[in-house]
Structure 1
Amino acid sequence: MQQKAPEWSCTSAGLTSTRRDAHGTPTTTFTPVAAITAPAPVSVLADDYDTWCESSGTCHRVIDASRYIGETKGNAVYGNSSGVIGSFDVIIRNSLQGRRGRWTVSLIWDLGPSLTFSDSWINCYEVIDLWPDADCGDHALYPGLISSGSWRWNSPTIYGNNLVNSAAYYAAFNTDFTPAGYSARTAPALETARFKCYGSDPCKF
Structure 2
Amino acid sequence: MEAPAAASPTSKSTYDGAQKVFAPCIALAMQQKSPEWICTSAGLSSTRRDAHGTPTTTFTPVAATTAPAPASASVLADDYDTWCESSGTCHRIIDASRYIGETKGNATYGDSNGVIGSFDVIIRNSLQGRRGRWTVSLIWDYGPSLTFSDSWINCYEVIDNWPDADCGDHALYPGRISGTNWRWNSSTLYGNLLVNPKPYYAAFNTDFTPGGYSVRTLPALETARFKCYGSTADPCKF
Does the 8 Å contact 2:149/2:175 carry over to 1?
Answer: no
Q: Which amino acid aligns with 1:126?
A: E
Q: Once the 2 structures are TM-superposed, how far is the Cα of residue 35 of structure 1 from its aligned partner?
A: 8.3
Q: Which amino acid aligns with 1:203?
A: C
Q: 2:99 maps to which residue?
A: 68
Pairing partner for 1:132 from 155, 158, 163:
163
SS of 1:2 mapped into structure 2: helix
Q: 1:192 maps to which residue?
A: 223
Give the structure with the larger strand fraction: 1
Separation in structure 2 between the aligned mates of residue 115 and residue 35 of structure 1, nearest angstrom: 23
- Larger RCO, structure (CA 8 Å, separation 6 or more): 1
Pairing partner for 1:12 from 41, 50, 55:
41
Q: Once the 2 structures are TM-superposed, how far is the Cα of residue 30 of structure 1 from its aligned partner?
A: 2.4
Q: Once the 2 structures are TM-superposed, how far is the Cα of residue 109 of structure 1 from its aligned partner?
A: 0.1
Does the 8 Å contact 1:121/1:140 carry over to 2?
Answer: yes
Give the structure with the larger helix fraction: 2
Q: Which amino acid aligns with 1:199?
A: G
* Structure 2 length-normalised TM: 0.81
* Structure 1 length-normalised TM: 0.93
CA RMSD of aligned residues (A): 1.5
Equivalent pairs: percent with the same residue? 88
Query: Are residue 202 (structure 1) and residue 235 (structure 2) matched?
Result: yes
Structure 2 runs not aligned, ≥5 long = 1-29, 67-74
Separation in structure 2 between the aligned mates of residue 35 and residue 171 of structure 1, nearest angstrom: 22
Pairing partner for 2:60 from 17, 21, 31:
31
- CA deviations 1:11-42 (Å, max 9, x no partner) are 102221110112222112223345889xxxxx
Separation in structure 2 between the aligned mates of residue 36 and residue 111 of structure 1, nearest angstrom: 19
Separation in structure 2 between the aligned mates of residue 105 and residue 114 of structure 1, nearest angstrom: 18
Structure 1 runs not aligned, ≥5 long = 38-43
- CA deviations 1:156-198 (Å, max 9, x no partner) are 0000000000000000001110000000011111100000000
Does the 8 Å contact 2:228/2:235 carry over to 1?
Answer: yes
Separation in structure 2 between the aligned mates of residue 33 and residue 164 of structure 1, nearest angstrom: 37
Q: Which amino acid aligns with 1:32?
A: P
Does the 8 Å contact 1:170/1:193 carry over to 2?
Answer: yes
